[in-house]
Structure 1
């Protein structure tokens, strides 16, 4: 299975988490996941990926 959420390095040297389905930065609640340090972006991408997998398993 292809990873839905991927890291993207921004021109300023910060990191964003992009949603492969939309091609846009991912959102978590009302926050767009941009301007992060690499470690935080990796953790959020992992969390969003796990939540997406759970949604797919339960069919919701």
Structure 2
């Protein structure tokens, strides 16, 4: 299996859900909104939320790989 297929099969750390003001990016382990520089990521456009989920999952995956988990 190639590396791209492997990365798609890895568990996600973040996902998005609809909220009253748009979309919330949240930590799937705690169901709490993700925070960037202390700011909860709520009320986002769908495009921004989708991009942020991808970015945060990539960063989490890289962190796990660098720590050997």
Query: Does TM-score exceed 0.5, indicating one fold?
Result: yes
Match of 1:46 among 35, 54, 60: 54
In structure 2, stretches of 5+ residues that fail to align are 1-9
Aligned residue for 1:2? 11
Q: What count of residue pairs does the alignment treat as equivalent?
A: 59
Moved over 4 A (4+): none
Name the TM-score, length of structure 2 as normaliser: 0.77
Higher helix share: 2
Question: Gapped runs of 5+ residues in structure 1?
Answer: none
SS in structure 1 at match of 2:58: helix
CA RMSD of aligned residues (A): 1.4
Contact 2:20-2:43 at 8 Å conserved across structures: no
Query: What is the CA–CA distance in structure 1 between the aligned matches of 2:62 and 2:20, rounded to whole Å?
Result: 33
